[in-house]
Amino acid sequence: MTSPRDQLLAGLEDILTRIRQANGYLTDAGANFTREPRPASDDSADEFITAVWSRQERATDPALVRTHRLTTVQVAAKVPAGLTDAQARLDAITTDIEMAMEKQEFRFPSGIQYPKYQAAEPALPQQAGAGWIGVFLTYTSHIPIRRPAA
């Protein structure tokens, strides 16, 4: 059995891999999903999305303090972009992730709260004309401290 953190990330993977133009999205970034962190400064222009947990802290809901942790997840994405369309591509990938997360079609395992949007910020290449643009989105979820007993 996997940990609650792994179950949360697996759920995000199921949601974010649906981001494909064939499914009505603006990009195909979901075709290259990974749970492994990749640097935002990576010079390749390949599209990808990754989700990693970045922080755990005491639950903010008093009813969950003894049983759950508030877990912060970073969703990072990168898409190809030129000098004249970077803003539009940034908006497209951000829109895709927000739209996928808003649908709430996926149900997480019992005890895992559907992730809530917290913030977003652009990920910019260090060199102009690098051929890509990216975004970091932050979500939080209350997840169980321990995995359920089998």
Which neighbouring-strand residues pair with 68?
144
CA 100 – CA 106 distance, rounded (Å): 10
In a domain, residue 15? The reply is yes
Q: Is residue 149 part of a domain?
A: no
Does residue 150 belong to any structural domain of this protein? no
Q: Is residue 46 situated within a structural domain?
A: yes
| Tally of CB atoms within 10 A around 128 | 8
Beta strands in 20-131 (DSSP E): 33-34, 48-58, 68-80, 116-123
The H-or-E segment that residue 143 falls in is strand 132-144
73 vs 9: CA distance, rounded Å: 8
Mean pLDDT within 92-100: 98
Domain range for 74: 4-144
CA dihedral sign, ordered 39, 45, 46, 50: positive
pLDDT digits (tens, 9 = 90+) for 15-68: 999 999 999 999 999 999 988 876 544 555 589 999 999 999 999 999 999 999
The tens digit of pLDDT for each residue in 121-142 reads: 999 888 877 899 999 999 999 9
pLDDT-derived band at 1 (thresholds 50, 70, 90) equals low
108 part of a folded domain: yes
Stated length of the chain: 150
Total domain count, the chain: 1
User: Lowest-confidence range among 2-6, 80-84, 125-129, 139-143?
Assistant: 125-129
Could you tell me the CATH number of the domain that includes residue 139?
A: 3.30.70.1700
> In degrees rounded to 5, what are phi and psi of residue 82?
-100, 180
β-pair partners for 71: 56, 141
